[in-house]
Chain A
């Protein structure tokens, strides 16, 4: 087990260095921070609400992740397959689980960094008023967990194709379905022609519903289990898919 984490860490370090080898990483971080800011202030009406909380800030995270997380995830495996480095990686003394974990953790840490860089938001709200910092912390944690779940989906999709653009689009689509599944729009349609159990099951898979519970300051075990099992499930799917697809 120790070996697994050691090896995953070596892979993750290489991945992170690769992110910053090109200006793309900085572009991504800038876009993320700028967009969260713009959405909070202009669309979310941060000042107009007259409340010292970061609710309008976190409310847009699922929608931002919908586009930005697949952008990070798309290259994870598609690029390795396209350039043939996967053959190198998989013939080194590394297990697929170590490689998949290492790459996933690097991407997750990268998104974590993007989240941390939004700290001016937290400072702003603390200067302006007296917010519940406990709720803000749980929200950050929840946002990070949700990003991990999106990322695990993206990691799986990235193994399916050598084309990063296709990986991006499909991953965005799947993430979109998981986000939307709890909304009335989807639920009403489902209820019209499926049994109650089914529509409830679909609703319980909604990232949005789980995330909204967190942003209200409620960090419950089921929510934690939900996001973690999402991550484990999709990473497991990645392991299976890599085994099948690596040589094609």
Chain B
């Protein structure tokens, strides 16, 4: 696999604060890397250094093997970048703005119109092509930023919170666009929306306080969740005690927790001894005791919980 984005030991300080403290990463072609982390974790700062906007105190970054700080002009021609908030020149129309970008990107003559048309088509900008950008809705403004980044069909795409503030339909559209392009490019997106990672990212990195605290696929991350593989079930409240007794007796159950008591039912969660436990096993156990189960499922672990657990260790620890 060809590594298209590489960062080695990036560090950046703002005064006393270490915004980024030794981040290294490699993104091969075909991978969509999700940057996760709470606000202020250093996601944007890392992206600004990879794109050469911000000079790191230490470390290096390269795009397709071209060092961003040694040959900035060449490196910058190899990626498309959507900065946070997708800024664009508000007094221009999408058509004139994208034509300007095309010209800066080195296209001339008929190529300009052709490139603009292609990226407008991809980003779905036709209806507002000649409207002043300042008057556009947030969703369209975001698409202008996106169209600008993909205009030259770069091998690398870097997007800082591309779906922030969009409605669910618009989010879906942007994610679809990213997924379409994923196979031929290396893409980094930052987000604090975890469903996005599941939806589009083939790998995720969690950043906290300027350091990488987790790295893996969305599944890998969920494996780290305390409840991963636990079986949750809902039984009628007056049979709850019986159910707890039955489950606690089972050989591969460590303990049983009560989660809540909504509407005359009891929510239980059986924590397995090994990481995995078959739902069928639990069901059979309860059926043998004649305890009716209303609902039963295996916890995959929600990314939200994983996120909290990783980025706020004290809080997550107390939860478990």
Contact = CB atoms under 8 A, between A and B. Distances in A.
Contact of B90 (A13, A17, A83, A88): A83
B234 interface: no
A22 interface: yes
Given A21-B91, A93-B73, A87 B100 contact: no
B252 interface: no
Nearest to A96: B72
Contact of B104 (A17, A21, A84, A94): A94
Nearest to B77: A93
Given A7-B104, A10-B104, A91 B91 contact: no
A94 B106 CA distance: 11
Interface in B36-59: 48, 51-54
A22 B134 CA distance: 12
A85 to B, nearest CB: 5
A17 B95 CA distance: 13
**Interface core residue of A11, A83, A92 (most chain B CB under 10 Å):** A92
A88 B83 contact: yes
Contacts of B48: 87, 247
A95 interface: yes
Contacts of A87: 48, 53, 83-84, 87
B53 A91 contact: yes
Contacts of A246: 53
Nearest to B49: A247
A84 B105 contact: no
B217 interface: no
B227 interface: no
Contacts of A177: none
B51 A91 contact: yes
A83 B11 CA distance: 26
* B-side interface mostly: loop
B81 A84 contact: no
Given A246-B53, A247-B48, A85 B89 contact: yes
Contacts of B72: 95
A11 B103 CA distance: 10
A127 interface: no
Contacts of A10: 100, 103-104
B28 interface: no
Interface in B17-74: 48, 51-54, 72-74
Contacts of B91: 18, 21-22
Nearest to A11: B104
A4 to B, nearest CB: 11
Contacts of A93: 73-74, 76-77, 104-106
Given A14-B100, A247-B48, A88 B88 contact: yes
Contacts of A109: none
Interface in B91-132: 91-92, 96, 100-101, 103-106, 132
B190 interface: no
B85 interface: yes
B133 to A, nearest CB: 10
A90 interface: yes
Interface in A1-36: 7, 10-11, 13-14, 17-18, 21-22
Contacts of B53: 87, 90-91, 246-247
Contacts of B103: 10
**Interface core residue of A13, A22, A84 (most chain B CB under 10 Å):** A84
A84 B85 contact: yes
A54 to B, nearest CB: 36
B311 interface: no
Contact of A21 (B73, B87, B88, B92): B92
Nearest to B97: A14
A17 B92 CA distance: 9
**Interface core residue of B84, B92, B104, B148 (most chain A CB under 10 Å):** B104
Contact of A92 (B85, B89, B105, B132): B105
Interface of B: 48, 51-54, 72-74, 76-77, 81, 83-85, 87-92, 96, 100-101, 103-106, 132, 148
Given A10-B104, A87-B84, A94-B73, 8 more contacts: A10-B100, A10-B103, A13-B100, A14-B92, A85-B89, A88-B81, A93-B73, A93-B106
28 contacts: A7-B104, A10-B100, A10-B104, A14-B89, A14-B92, A17-B96, A18-B89, A18-B91, A18-B92, A21-B132, A83-B87, A83-B90, A84-B83, A84-B87, A85-B88, A85-B89, A87-B53, A87-B84, A88-B87, A90-B53, A92-B76, A92-B101, A92-B105, A93-B104, A94-B73, A95-B72, A247-B48, A247-B53
